[in-house]
Amino acid sequence: MAQLGDLVRAKALLRRAARAFGPKEAVARARCVVAEAEIALASRDLGWPAKALDAARATLEGHGDRANAAHARYLEARRLLLIGSLDEAERTLTGLDPAPFPPASRTVHELVVAGIAMRRLRTEAARAALARAESAARHARIPALTAEVESALLVLKTPAARLIARGEERLLRLEEVEALLASKAFVVDACRNVVRYAGTVISLATRPVLFGLARALGEAWPGDVPRGTLLARAFGSKLADESHRARLRVEVGRLRTVLRTLAEVKATKRGFALAPRRAREVVVLARPVEDEHGAVLASLADGESWSSSALALALGTSQRTVQRALDSLAAAGKVQSFGRGRARRWTTPPVPGFTTTLLLPAPLPID
């Protein structure tokens, strides 16, 4: 039933089977729990009880069913990867050698390794893992698994971000983003709302006004930005009075304090300009496609169907906030839903020609 797409019916059948097995059939019940977790992952029901899956894994390991125990680990690692818990996903794989397992399990293992590496911007490690996944998928001869590997390979080949520098823009692949963050450029990172230089990272994620000022100054570098433009970018004010100008001076002062180790914010005749202390280049790194509800769209862009509760868990926000975003996107024709109540799911086609890696909620490397 799951392969036919009726995930609700499949889940109900598994639960019925688990109840039917007696106390002496612990392994069979544990396999039902693992199978139900796999269906939950496919339906993006990310709030399943992790303790139940962990208990099932322990039961399978205790009875010598190493293949299914490993499969349980992979399911948990993939869930953690989806919600951006990269450290926990890595710990889940610790000590797990995929060599003795069937080709399908080896493929999944390498897909998780590659997913973690891509989210951490380690493109060489990701490429090596995907090569191993591709080889294992050929031996597994499972079309859906082969398609998943091919989709992951596309992430390395398609644009992942935009570079804005000296008034010009160009698209960057993932490996180019990695090289940029390792360079000596002063980077205003609009993908994670931080400022970076030579391994130093200053987060402005909780200070949107300051980040708006920093981005405007970064996009204009080496020129300056008129005060009216800064007011519009930071506060959305088209008409500026003395109170707005006073507030701008206060916020610029705060930005000076935050950036004091990396750059100065100098006053000019018409506004302000960014002056890095050591960097010779200032660039802005932005998402390839920017949208008011970009984080929600990014999660939906994997082509799977998501519940609003799963999106809230993945994005670290409230379900009500996600629902408002989905309603807005649905009104604009960017997403669609099916089902009702708790079975309601949301989906959208992937953004053509772009990878969503940098749009997803996990943090990019900051050390």
The DSSP annotation for 74-136 comes to: HHHHHHHHHTT-HHHHHHHHTT---TTS-HHHHHHHHHHHHHHHHHTT-HHHHHHHHHHHHHH
- What would the pLDDT profile of 152-203 be if each residue is shown by its tens digit? 898 888 888 999 999 899 999 999 999 999 999 999 999 889 999 998 999 9
**What local confidence, expressed as pLDDT, does residue 194 receive?**
94
Q: Could you tell me if residue 345 is inside a domain?
A: yes
Q: For the beta carbon of residue 257, count every other beta carbon within 10 angstroms.
A: 10
Q: Could you tell me if residue 31 is inside a domain?
A: yes
Residues 277 and 214 in one domain: yes
Q: For residue 349, what are its two tokens?
A: 């086609």
For residue 294, pLDDT over 80 is answered with no
Looking only at the bridges linking them, the beta strands covering 186-189 and 282-286 are: parallel
Only one residue has tokens 């010779």, namely: 280
Which domain range does residue 339 map to? 294-359
Residues 18 and 111 in one domain: yes
Q: Which of 113, 116, 82, 84 is nearest to 96 (CA)?
A: 113
- What would the pLDDT profile of 99-146 be if each residue is shown by its tens digit? 889 999 999 999 999 999 998 999 999 999 999 999 999 999 988 889
- Number of compact structural domains in the chain: 3
Residues 204 and 78 in one domain: no
pTM: 0.79
Q: Could you tell me if residue 116 is inside a domain?
A: yes
The band of 350, judged by pLDDT with boundaries at 50, 70 and 90, is low
Question: Rounded to 5 degrees, what are φ and ψ at 161?
Answer: -165, 170
CATH number of the domain that 11 lies in?
1.25.40
How far apart are the C-alpha atoms of 199 and 203, rounded to whole Å? 13
CATH number of the domain that 312 lies in?
1.10.10.10
How far apart are the C-alpha atoms of 199 and 202, rounded to whole Å? 10
Q: Which of 215, 249, 282 corresponds to the end of one domain?
A: 282
Only one residue has tokens 């390792």, namely: 182
Residues 58 and 16 in one domain: yes
For residue 242, pLDDT over 90 is answered with no
How far apart are the C-alpha atoms of 204 and 183, rounded to whole Å? 21
Looking only at the bridges linking them, the beta strands covering 186-189 and 336-338 are: unpaired
Q: For residue 237, what are its two tokens?
A: 């004010």
Q: Which of 260, 282, 304 corresponds to the end of one domain?
A: 282
